[in-house]
Structure 1
Amino acid sequence: MTDFPRPIGPADKNSQTFAVLVWIGTIFFSFVPALIVYLLKKDDAFLQEHSKEALNWAITMLLLTLIGQVLTIVLIGFLLIGIMVIAQLIFCIIGAVKASNGQPCVLPFNIRLIK
């Protein structure tokens, strides 16, 4: 198992636009946009890879949110939740930029449950 981008075919503008929308949608709607695209666009390899990465990122953020909410009892959870909000914004923008350039995206700190 490697974290290097897998080779995917060239992406057309439509696929790049959908991938950017998946990443931007992940900022606001968590895993929902990535899941919809992942389930509906099975024939597009570029879009599949970006939706998988966005879906894995959203799941990672949901798990960290649960941990942060539990840790708010000892007040460190507020710091963790603040860091997660900033990380969500930064890494989703990185994913959107890579998608708009037609590049694959592999985010660090991402739990890869969907392969």
Structure 2
Amino acid sequence: MKRTDNQLLAITHLSQLLDYVTGFGGLILPLILWVSKKDSVLNMDEHGKAILNFQLSIFIYSLLSIPLIFLFGLGILVLIAIAILAFVFPIINAINSSNGKNVYYPLSLRIIS
């Protein structure tokens, strides 16, 4: 039987912010939490997939913006927008998940379904 743990869901969303400290922890820690708790925590599977899809999408968009840096400097603006989205939406979704609401990550590709 799965248990409800909205605090763990919120922590999983906030763990994405490790990217700003370590550069890569925002993908690894949510992956570990998702794999280890998806069968025991209610909604962890959906939240974990949403987080991983968002993190992978952010990575892909960042890679695609690198060539744009050399074309009119547009890539720098794209990277700034990506950084803002990657900072704001984990916080918003942590608040939503702790209140039992649905989460949404914009521009997220469905890589893991």
Same fold (TM over 0.5): yes
Deviations, residues 47-101 of structure 1 (Å, cap 9, x unaligned): 1211111111100100011012222122111100001111111211111111110
TM-score, normalised to structure 2's length?
Answer: 0.82
- Cα–Cα, structure 1 residues 78 and 11, in superposed 2: closer, same or farther, change >3 Å? farther
Gapped regions of structure 1 (runs ≥ 5): 1-9
Q: How many residues align?
A: 104
1:82 match:
80
Deviations, residues 1-41 of structure 1 (Å, cap 9, x unaligned): xxxxxxxxx963xx211111111111223211221122111
Q: Name the amino acid aligned to 1:46.
A: N
Whether 1:53 aligns to 2:23 is no
2: distance between equivalents of 1:18 and 1:68?
33
Q: Name the amino acid aligned to 2:13.
A: W
Whether 1:38 aligns to 2:28 is no
Among the aligned pairs, what percent are the same residue? Answer: 24
Q: Name the amino acid aligned to 2:55.
A: A
Whether 1:62 aligns to 2:59 is yes
What pairs with 1:103-114 in structure 2 (closer than 5 Å)? 103-114=101-112
2: distance between equivalents of 1:110 and 1:18?
22
1:23 match:
13
3-state DSSP class of the match of 2:82?
helix
RMSD of Structure 2 on Structure 1 (CA): 1.7
Gapped regions of structure 2 (runs ≥ 5): 19-24
- Cα–Cα, structure 1 residues 56 and 36, in superposed 2: closer, same or farther, change >3 Å? same
